[in-house]
Amino acid sequence: MKCENNNGLKERLTQLVNEMGERQASSEDMRIELDTVKEKLDATEKCLLECQQENIFYRHQVLLRGNLYLRSGTFKMFRKRWFELEPGYILSFYNGSEKLGSIAISDMTEVTRVSELEFKISTQFTEYVLSSDSNGETSTWLVGLETLRHLVYKGDS
């Protein structure tokens, strides 16, 4: 469901209610406009609630999180790290509570599957090879990262 930007609807609704009270108008036009604004406000609130409940691309919460294995550059060994796709479209990775690094979605040039459990994130200067415990987890991360990457690049054009 596409949520429209309805900034000011509450203010307009309040203004209309006040105008109706002040004028005690029974004008059909004003009632129609009031009903339209109420419908848009209800639809917006419903959409925001759905976004919160589904936790999909809601900017005030972590969008995706979980353990992944990050391959080190030196010894090519995989090390378990905690990853979070944070508001602002930043993929951060941690060892315990220590933040080890982050990758901006806007810096990603490519996100590709390497094998059933592995995928690669390419930036202009670095490649990150990640692995998960299951094909489903790998797919979830790939779809999430690719979707956001396309949204970010679409927004830049």
Paired tokens of 97: 């509570």
* Residue 74 and residue 131 share a domain: yes
Percent of the chain surpassing pLDDT 90: 42
pLDDT in tens, 110-150: 999 999 999 999 999 999 999 999 999 999 999 989 888 88
Instruction: Scan for tokens 């307009």, then name that residue.
Output: 12
pTM for the whole thing? Answer: 0.59
**The total number of structural domains that make up the chain:** 2
pLDDT of 8 over the 60 cut: no
Decide which of 41 and 153 is more confident. Answer: 153
Average pLDDT, the chain: 77
* Residue 26 and residue 102 share a domain: no
Q: What is the pLDDT of residue 30?
A: 57
Paired tokens of 36: 């339209």
Q: What is the pLDDT of residue 74?
A: 77
Instruction: Scan for tokens 């848009």, then name that residue.
Output: 40
| Domain span holding position 48 | 9-54
* Residue 144 and residue 86 share a domain: yes
Q: What is the DSSP-derived secondary structure letter of residue 134?
A: S
